[in-house]
Amino acid sequence: MKGWLRMVLLGACMVLVGWGHALVREARQFHQPPPKEMAWRPSHAIWHRIMAGPVPGLVADLAVLEVFNLYHEGKTTGGVARARWWRALSYQLHRALALDPRFHDAYRLTEGLLAYEPGFTDDAVAMIERHAHWLDSGEYLLVASFLAWHELHDNARAIRLARLAAGKPDTASLAAGFAAKLIRQEQGCRAAMAFLRMRARSMPKAYRAGMDAALERLRRDPACLRPRTPPRAVPDARAGMLG
């Protein structure tokens, strides 16, 4: 074969490779929502640990990166497909925590993203509660307590989580005060708004949609518009909570 003919064939092959590659890459994008049955089971943790081998930390990191992709798809999708994206997002958070139960980013995304998607709050709170003994900070437990009280209206669970948070050194006083407020059911609306604002400030702007929506709901709530009643004195908030 002559040299020029080889060069022509090589050029043609490169054009074909480019054409095929562009089409395949397009098809690889997320267009189809994940399967309906994508629900986390404890037995899945075993397989993920086996697959992760000596690098469970890295696989947990990759699961968190996948959460960002899924969030992008989930927030722009409506209808039935939206729940599938969020179920897939929840699966990745379960996976990350099963592989590295001390990974703060996974907890942050659980309480900051998953918990504010309707239908997934219970899953998020349960996930944080299940890993309570791994946490070196009470921050996430306190948020889970808030979510149980404010979103799930489950006071018993909220108090249980606040007690767990009070056991951690960094949030003991805050958790105690919050638990006292829960028990006395005073100023619920304002406390909730202040708490949500505080959490939203520590979250990147692109991921605040869920918290902003919760804040907006509270602002429109007629109960929040009523004039504030002076709070009763709490003699010993910690004793109130622990008692």
Q: Can residue 204 be called a binding residue for another protein (CB under 8 A)?
A: yes
Handedness of CA 132, 47, 123, 64 (dihedral sign): positive
The residue range among 31-39, 63-71, 148-156, 215-223 that interacts with another protein, by the rule CB under 8 A, is 63-71
Centre a 10 Å sphere on the Cβ of residue 102 and count the other Cβ atoms it contains.
13
Which residue lies nearer to another protein by CB, 54 or 78?
Answer: 54
Question: Which position has the token pair 């996976």?
Answer: 95
Taking CB under 8 A as the criterion, the residue among 64, 93, 124, 164 binding another protein is 64
* DSSP 8-state assignment for residue 207: G
Q: Which helix (H) or strand (E) holds 176?
A: helix 172-184
Q: Phi, psi (5° rounding) for residue 231? A: -70, 145
Tell me the C-alpha distance between 167 and 183, whole Å.
18
For 200, other C-beta atoms within 10 Å of its C-beta total: 17
Identify residues 38-57 at the interface with another protein (CB under 8 A).
Answer: 43, 46, 49-50, 52-57
Answer yes or no whether residue 161 interacts with another protein by CB under 8 A: no
Interface mask (CB under 8 A) for another protein, residues 95-134, using x and -?
-----x-xxxx--xx-------------------------
For another protein, which is the closer residue by CB, 73 or 237? 73
- CA dist 217 and 145 (Å) reads 19
Q: Which is nearer to another protein, 75 or 184 (CB)?
A: 75
Q: Which stretch binds another protein (CB under 8 A): 61-69, 121-129, 214-222, 229-237?
A: 61-69
* 182: number of Cβ within 10 Å: 23
Judged by the rule CB under 8 A, the positions of this chain that interact with another protein are 43, 46, 49-50, 52-58, 60-61, 64-65, 68, 100, 102-105, 108-109, 204
